[in-house]
Amino acid sequence: MTESIVKLIMCLVTGCMLAYAYRYIKSGYKNKTFEGTMDLIRGAMLLIASVIIACVLLSTNANAQNVVRKGNTFEQISSRQKKFAGAIKTHYTYKDANGVVYPIYISKNNKVFIIKINKKGKQYPYYLKDIEDQILHEYGRK
């Protein structure tokens, strides 16, 4: 939350800097004297500084770190794994047609699934409806 507030303040500062840059550049074009030239330089410097601040704001990524404790180990959960955070890992495994072995999970809604990864690297649940009754019965959830 504090990162969001800092970003908001930085956006406001950048907006003010852009407004002042516009004012200085506009007055520099009207006034052809030394002061007008200095206004143009001030405006250009403010414009460059505000562009740099905007690039820094866009490049930073505010990610909340989610950590789960498993015994004496703390594991960080990525944003894609939050979807499966409430799932219980069973002692069963599932072997697909390609020979890949996956651990079987039970969701908090009593759905039995495995976590597969697509070609883009994103995780998605693959539900196992045909063996759901057997596993839920063994875990006392049905």
The whole-number average pLDDT for the span 70-87 is: 68
Please tell me the predicted confidence (pLDDT) of residue 12: 76
pLDDT tens across 3-34, in order?
677 777 777 777 777 777 777 777 766 777 77
Where b means 16+ CB within 10 Å and e means fewer, 34-61 reads eeeeebbebbeebbeebeebbeeeeeee
Please tell me the predicted confidence (pLDDT) of residue 79: 53
Please tell me the predicted confidence (pLDDT) of residue 114: 92
More confident residue, 27 or 121: 121
Regarding pTM above 0.95, the answer is: no
Token look-up 């506009």 returns 26
pLDDT of 75 higher than 70:
no
Please tell me the predicted confidence (pLDDT) of residue 88: 87
Mean pLDDT of the chain: 78
Please tell me the predicted confidence (pLDDT) of residue 113: 93
pLDDT of 77 higher than 70:
no
DSSP state of 78: P
